[in-house]
């Protein structure tokens, strides 16, 4: 069950990411990336879903290696 959920999760995120990244991020992208659901996206979590480090650099505005709630709001809100 856990493995299946994880697999579905990866498949769905792969599908959404290919379009989401071209058109910009949205909150469901953010939720997908936040694998441990602590409300922040670490670089590790991000890199499991994307290798677009240009986008990462734009979103991690204070350069601490984590997207906090505010950075997520700012970076993922454009549809």
**Where does this chain touch Ca ion (CB under 5 A) — which range of 5-13, 24-32, 37-45, 49-57?**
37-45
State whether the Cα torsion 39-42-47-48 is positive or negative: negative
Which residues, 6+ apart, have CB-to-CB distance to 33 below 8 Å? 13, 41, 45, 46, 48, 49, 50
**Residue 3 CB, nearest distance to Ca ion (Å)?**
20
Q: Interface mask (CB under 5 A) for Ca ion, residues 59-78, using x and -?
A: -x-x-x-x----x-------
51 forms part of the interface with Ca ion (CB under 5 A): no
Chain residues binding Ca ion by CB under 5 A are 34, 36, 38, 60, 62, 64, 66, 71
């Amino acid at each position: 069950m856990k493995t299946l959920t994880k697999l579905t999760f990866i498949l769905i995120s792969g599908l959404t990411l290919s379009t989401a990244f071209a058109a910009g991020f949205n909150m469901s992208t953010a939720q997908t990336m936040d694998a441990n659901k602590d409300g922040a996206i670490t670089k590790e979590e991000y890199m499991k879903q994307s290798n677009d480090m240009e986008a990462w650099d734009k979103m991690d505005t204070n350069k601490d290696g984590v997207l906090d709630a505010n950075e997520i709001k700012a970076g993922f809100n454009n549809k």
